[in-house]
Amino acid sequence: MFVRRNRVAWLAGALVALAVALAGALAPAAARADEGGVSFWLPGQFGSLAATPSEPGWSLPLIGYHASVDAAAQKEFEIGGRLAAGLDARADLLLAVPTYTFAHPVLGGQAALGVAAVFGRMDVSAQVSLSGPAGSDLTRSESDAVTSYGDLFPSGSLRWNRGVHNSMVYTMLGVPVGSYEVGRLANLGTNHWSADAGGGYTYLNPVTGRELSLLAGATYSFENPDTDYKNGESVHLDWGASQFLSESWHVGLVGYYYLQVTGDSGAGARLGDFESRVGGIGPQVGHLFKMGGRQAYLNVKGYWEFDARHRAEGWNGWITLLIPLGALSSDSPRTGG
């Protein structure tokens, strides 16, 4: 076969556990949508091979992430209870996502649990509106930076395999324990609970080495108690397509589209509905290799954004290193066909 199925399935399943666990974890990294231009879901979480099964046991994905976005001076955002325009944001984050994949089937599928923890730095500059004498509005340039930790994101997923067809469902929660301060331009926490759920499909042909993945989900956010701001509901679609050039290398494209379907609300939503959208597309390359006698994986991908509305727009890059910590015994039961 062009691609050895067990190797691809192992790395892909671990990647979907990674994607589910870190979904949303990077969202505060740069001004993007909703309150402060920041959505719970960061587009690009999912990609190629996401719905295929995996090897049971522990794994530790490590993710390096960089984002660079900006917005025109006429675009206003509400950040920490203040109005800001002309945003320019940079983020550099490192995520650790310990993940456990179960050997025994659940509802005929393969279950995985994970939790994402994030640490990094964010730099933001903007034109901030202030209240002046006699109710007049004053504007001044401000910049802010923070190096700290973000929220936690526990998650779970189920995956099924039938030949070249793979499907999955996931659910994930955002726990607001990250660094956050009202009035600060740069925050690594959202200061509100969030929940996201969805599902997807991967076509993987081990003979031709061709692969296509589509994953969709929906997000519900609770109100920020310190700003009385509630982000509207949103939907998102992530996709990836790749071609294996050998058993070790594959290349292709990745993309996403994010759409807010209900308006922001609450006493703090002074800019109204503030419904947002954005698309992104870019290249990817992946490499399989051995680490301590076990299969490891390295992936590099990047997105250039377009069609942004009520969001800062720019580019973002990802480097993912999947470290195998250990698998269950070879006679453990597995799902898949």
The residue ranges of every structural domain in the chain are 5-122+146-325
326 in Cβ contact with 57 (< 8 Å): yes
Residue pair 155/171 in contact (Cβ under 8 Å)? The answer is yes
Contact 118, 93 (CB under 8 A): yes
Q: What is the pLDDT of residue 29?
A: 46
What pLDDT, on a 0 to 100 scale, did the predictor assign at position 143?
A: 87
Spatial distance between the Cα atoms of 161 and 55, rounded to a whole number of angstroms: 13
Structure-token pair, residue 289: 């290799």
Average pLDDT, whole number, for the chain?
Answer: 83
Burial (CB count within 10 angstroms: exposed 0-12, middle 13-18, buried 19+), residue 309: middle
Q: What is the mean pLDDT of residues 158-172?
A: 96
| pLDDT tens per residue, range 207-220 | 999 999 999 999 99
Distance from C-alpha of 43 to C-alpha of 23, rounded to nearest angstrom? 9
Mean pLDDT of 270-299: 88
Q: Which residue has the higher pLDDT, 257 or 56?
A: 257
Q: At 22, give phi and psi (nearest 5°).
A: -90, -5
Q: Given this model, what pLDDT does residue 167 score?
A: 97
Q: What is the pLDDT of residue 227?
A: 87
Q: Which of 262, 204, 188 is nearest to 232 (CA)?
A: 262
Q: Which residue has the higher pLDDT, 177 or 79?
A: 177
User: How crowded is residue 73: how many other Cβ atoms within 10 Å of its Cβ?
Assistant: 11
Domain range 5-122+146-325, its CATH number among 3.30.930.10, 2.40.160.40, 2.60.40.10, 3.20.20.70:
2.40.160.40
Judged by DSSP in three states, 28 sits in helix
Q: What confidence score (pLDDT) does residue 312 get? A: 83
Q: What is the pLDDT of residues 130-150, one digit of tens each?
A: 654 444 466 778 888 999 999
pLDDT tens for residues 77-95? Answer: 777 667 777 788 899 999 9
Q: Lowest-confidence range among 24-28, 45-49, 315-319?
A: 24-28
For residue 274, is pLDDT > 60? yes
Contacts of 331 (CB under 8 A, 6+ apart): none
Tell me the longest C-alpha to C-alpha distance in the chain: 77
Q: Which of 196, 152, 155 is nearest to 177 (CA)?
A: 152
Count of positions (residues) in the chain? 337
pLDDT at residue 1 in the model: 55
pLDDT tops 70 at residue 335:
no
**pLDDT surpasses 60 at 323:** yes
What single string gives the DSSP state of each residue in 218-283? EEEE--BTTTTBBPPPEEEEEEEEEEESSSSEEEEEEEEEEEE-S--BSTT-TTTT---EEEEEEE
Residue 272 CB neighbour total at 10 angstroms: 10
More confident residue, 55 or 120: 120
Please check the confidence at residue 23 and state whether its pLDDT lies above 50: no
Give yes or no for residue 332 having a pLDDT over 80. no
Residue 18 has pLDDT above 60, yes or no: no
Read off the pLDDT of residues 34-68 as tens digits, 9 standing for 90 and up.
555 556 778 888 888 889 887 788 999 899 999 99
pTM above 0.75, yes or no: yes
